[in-house]
Amino acid sequence: MSRRDFLRKAAWISTAGAAAVLTGCKVRFQSTEQTSGSASSQTFHWRLVSTWAPHFPVMGDGLDQFSKWVDAMSGGRLKIQVYGSGELVPALEVFDAVSQGTAEMGHGASYYWSGKVPAAQFFCAVPFGLNAQQMNAWLYSGGGLQLWEEVYKPHNLVPFPAGNTGVQMGGWFNREIKSVADFQGLKMRMPGLGGRVISKLGATAVLSPGSELYTNLERGVIDATEWIGPYHDYLMGFHKIAKFYYYPGWQEPGPNLELIINGDAFNQLPSDLQEIVRTAAFRLNLWMLSEFEARNDEYLKKIQNEPDVKILPFPDDVMAELRKQSEIVLTELTEKDPQSKKIYSAYSAFRKAISEYSTLSESAFYNKISIG
């Protein structure tokens, strides 16, 4: 997809997002009885709403593929219509839409719902926390997914890990960050816990979906934005409108994306279709991470070749302060919200439990080996 196509879609979705109206009426969990009338012969027609613009590279494309995988695996018994943000509901209403049954499925990032369910953000990203591999290990093999299911159950939602970007970049800035003081008065798009951290440094954290970022940065509504990494950031065109590209993405070392399913709709599926959905979510999770990993370097080189862009590390004292403030934010949140305390305790315990081997395997490997 060219940048022009990409931006055209982003512009379209801003308009569509503003115009989208939730009808408030619940959608039937549509199913069509076939000849035998048994549960296994039913065809289900589901809607999947997302926080991403339609056919967005990687995330939107991934959902289009997810729908095809489920269709093929189910022999056409589970049909999923994918909607980008604003096509059925605005990006930041996906959680409510799926919870209430306006759509059967949703895809996004759980930190978008931190104002509603503070503990949800631990299932996306924690500043200076787990990387993608470790996040998957916690969710699939360390009890994290069961905790996530507990947190979402009162909202009538069943969650699945369904995508990860790997370690992100720190973001695009229209001013150089020479010290902590440069965050003072900065208006920066940063969702979740990272947003709380930069607020501690005097910045204003803005929560907005990806489809609005380019326009907001171009028009000066925000001074800076974090997004993902070189591949997707280049497609977004940020190198055309911001001069400073910082690393590393301390705020999102391995953000997990989510697939959420309305609990009633999921319970109505026969067990084989439930397993198909679960398996396709696994595939989507690995596919998205692989896409980012495979293409980031190619696009980093493109950004390096942009004459007006400087790619810089955050100064050491800035990183130290961000880390210190991250710990304060986590302490404040867990003291105030018992559910966050429970989830973060489990997250921290898992991190501690895997730290020794991570240090002498991955950390040691990357510290000793220089490739290329």
Q: How far is the CB of 59 from Ca ion (least distance, A)?
A: 12
Considering only 54-62, 142-150, 244-252, 321-329, which stretch makes contact with Ca ion by CB under 5 A? Answer: 244-252
What single string gives the DSSP state of each residue in 191-203?
A: -HHHHHHHHHTT-
Considering only 108-116, 133-141, 161-169, 297-305, which stretch makes contact with Ca ion by CB under 5 A? Answer: 161-169
Q: Which amino acid is at 131?
A: N
The residue (of 154 and 313) whose beta carbon lies closer to Ca ion is 313
Angle ∠(240,246,247) on CA atoms, nearest 5: 135
Q: How far is the CB of 326 from Ca ion (least distance, A)?
A: 15
Q: How far apart are CA 123 and CA 110, in angstroms?
A: 6
Q: How far is the CB of 109 from Ca ion (least distance, A)?
A: 8
- Is the four-CA dihedral 204, 107, 290, 128 of positive or negative sign? positive
Q: How far is the CB of 88 from Ca ion (least distance, A)?
A: 24
Structure tokens at 119: 């503990």
> Is residue 252 involved in binding Ca ion (CB under 5 A)?
yes
Residue 220, CA distances (Å) to 106, 200, 345 in order: 31, 22, 39
| Binding residues with Ca ion: total (CB under 5 A) | 3
CA-nearest of 10, 24, 252 to 131 is 252
> Is residue 233 involved in binding Ca ion (CB under 5 A)?
no
Collapsed DSSP state (helix, strand, coil) of residue 259: strand
> Is residue 258 involved in binding Ca ion (CB under 5 A)?
no
The residue (of 93 and 252) whose beta carbon lies closer to Ca ion is 252
Q: How far apart are CA 152 and CA 158, in angstroms?
A: 6
The residue (of 168 and 211) whose beta carbon lies closer to Ca ion is 168
Q: How far is the CB of 229 from Ca ion (least distance, A)?
A: 9
Q: How far is the CB of 169 from Ca ion (least distance, A)?
A: 8
Considering only 2-10, 219-227, 257-265, 302-310, which stretch makes contact with Ca ion by CB under 5 A? Answer: 219-227
Considering only 59-67, 138-146, 220-228, 359-367, which stretch makes contact with Ca ion by CB under 5 A? Answer: 220-228
Which residues, 162 to 181, sit near Ca ion by CB under 5 A? 168
| Preceding amide of 248 cis, omega within 30 | yes
Considering only 44-52, 80-88, 234-242, 247-255, which stretch makes contact with Ca ion by CB under 5 A? Answer: 247-255
Query: What dihedral do alpha carbons 264, 267, 269, 273 form, nearest 10°?
Result: 120
Print the SS3 string covering 264-330: HHHHHCCHHHHHHHHHHHHHHHHHHHHHHHHHHHHHHHHHHCCCCCEEEECCHHHHHHHHHHHHHHH
Give the interface with Ca ion as residue ranges (CB under 5 A): 168, 226, 252
